Amino acid sequence: MATQTETQVAPAVGAEGNLLSRKLGFLAVLAIGVGTTIGSGIFSSVGEVARAGGSALMTVLAFLVGGIIMIPQILAYAELSSAYPENGGAYIYFREAGSDFLAFLSGWIGFWGTDTPGISIMALAIANYIGFLTGIEGAWLKVIAIAFIVFYAWTHIRSVEGGSKTQTALTVIKVIPFVLLIAVGLFYLQGSLLSTPAIAGAPTGILALVAAISATTWSYDGMQSAAWVAGEVKNPRKNMPKALIATVLFVTLLYTLISLVITGLLPINNLVESTAPVADAMARIPFIGQIAGIVTAVIAVLVINGSLTSLILIQPRQQWAMAQDGMWFRSFGKVHPKWQTPVLSIVVQCAFGILFLFFASLRDLLGYFTFALLLRNTATMAAIFWLRRKENYKPSFKMPVWVLMTILAIAFSFILLVSTLLWAPGPSLIAGVIGAVTGYPAYLYFKKTQKPFETFGNEEA
């Protein structure tokens, strides 16, 4: 196992030369966080948040507070990633906390519960919007989804630099339409709609706000994703905390303004019944009008592409890190000698992402994904209490009032975990069973059959 000094300056290097070089700068890391977070969620969740909150005011407050309550969690990831700037995210933090089993379990749940279904969710969402634009339907939508997965897999196999440039470009492209929508929408905003009384039968007060905040979970997921590629970030002790904090602040501001515009253009009764709230809100802007659906679908395709390419970039790094320690199939830890990317890990995750397309609906995938993600995040936050006791735990960034911040991060994540269980009990239970029932036997198998790579430090680029 690499020492604390080694992990602060370089990713693991296998005895067979399995180096993942540090080539990602601050902007690339920021693009990963923002690009992963701003995806399909905002197009579908605004209506769900409005239905849960019951009024325009509660909808806007839910997005604002939903982002604010992510701050403790992001501060925790900023500290952890500056202490252990390695690829693997939660797997690394549990390992350093002293629990090989919990480290393995986080990666095991990640592979089956978040990583591969996340790829499926994004690819299927892109295909659905392309179907709306072109009239394509049925099995051909699966073919389109597969084509996008294969294309981005090949992009990230060939080069982490090329993949990160694609990610940065798509993130810029996807943010521009939202900024334009906010600028134009604020001009046509109807203030009276923001003060409309709550819809009949809706909860009020704190109950309405809590329910609405829970509905923002899918929209805010992904802000911590850059921590999974910390081993390939230049000057990670400086860039990781800066990028993570900048991500949560930017996304919270963007989502709050988007929700303000939508609720200020579309009456709350229409919003809660809408299956395409962004398109319906844009239709209220005079010069967009009848083409609002087409404009929204085009924006959605651009936006979700950025999330898909980000997932395919970051997620295979966890299995690469596990393989380095003998906690996954050894072949996943090998790096292409020319392209310096974990080829097999990318290929297998994308292959399973394609398989998920044929075995679950989008709603089932969302529930399955969200529960597994929150289960892992809740446990990861708790690991800080163990890590803070270690003498060699020396993060370059320490979150303020860390005990309170950590407790808040755990509490908020747990509340959302319970909310997801109630919202999607079937998929949630499946995700839980995969972790609880299959995790330990799988852990014993890998401990018995796999050997770790020999690791040593390397000077940081």
Per-residue CA distances from 139 to 49, 128, 144, 399 (Å)? 31, 11, 9, 49
87 bridge partner residues: 229
Question: What is the tally of helices (H) and strands (E) in the chain?
Answer: 22, 0
Kindly report which listed range (183-197, 271-285, 379-393) carries the lowest average pLDDT score: 271-285
pLDDT of 44 reads: 67
Chain mean position to CA 421: 19
CA 255 remoteness from chain centre: 15
Global pTM value:
0.82
Q: Tally the residues of the chain.
A: 461
Q: If DSSP codes are grouped into helix, strand and coil, which group holds residue 233?
A: strand
What pLDDT, on a 0 to 100 scale, did the predictor assign at position 364? 55
What residues contact 367, with CB distance under 8 A and at least 6 apart?
420, 423, 424, 426, 427, 428
Map tokens 């380095």 to a residue.
324
What letter does residue 396 receive in the DSSP assignment?
S
Distance of alpha carbon 14 from alpha carbon 12, whole angstroms: 6
CB 2 within 8 A of CB 9: no
pLDDT at 78 over 60: yes
* pLDDT for res 1: 40
Best-predicted range by mean pLDDT (248-257, 286-295, 328-337, 369-378)? 248-257
The span from the CA of 285 to the CA of 279, in Å, is 10
% of the chain residues with pLDDT over 90: 26
Note whether 419 and 100 are within 8 A (CB). Answer: no
The residue written with tokens 């990610």 in the block is 167
Residue 73 CA to residue 97 CA, distance in Å, equals 18
Mean pLDDT of the chain: 81
Q: In the prediction, which pLDDT does 200 show? A: 63
- Cα 248 to Cα 136, 182, 254: the distances in Å are 36, 19, 10
**Secondary structure class of 267 (helix, strand, coil):** coil
Q: Rounded distance, CA 454 to CA 333, Å? A: 11
Q: What is the pLDDT of residue 213?
A: 81
Please compute the mean of the pLDDT values over residues 415-425 and round it to a whole number. 66
Task: Give the pLDDT band of residue 76 (cuts 50, 70, 90).
Answer: very high
Q: How many CB atoms lie within 10 A of CB 206?
A: 8
Task: Write the CATH number of the domain with boundaries 22-331+338-449.
Answer: 1.20.1740.10
Lowest-confidence region among 38-52, 95-109, 184-198, 340-354: 38-52
List the domain boundaries for the chain. Answer: 22-331+338-449
Asked whether 106 and 327 are in contact (CB, 8 A), the reply is: no
Q: Please determine, for residue 219, whether its predicted confidence score (pLDDT) is greater than 60.
A: yes
Q: What is the pLDDT of residue 196?
A: 77
What pLDDT is attached to residue 371? 64
pLDDT in tens, 228-259: 888 889 899 999 999 999 999 999 999 999 99
Beta strands in 147-191 (DSSP E): none
**6: pLDDT strictly greater than 80:** no
DSSP label at 114? I
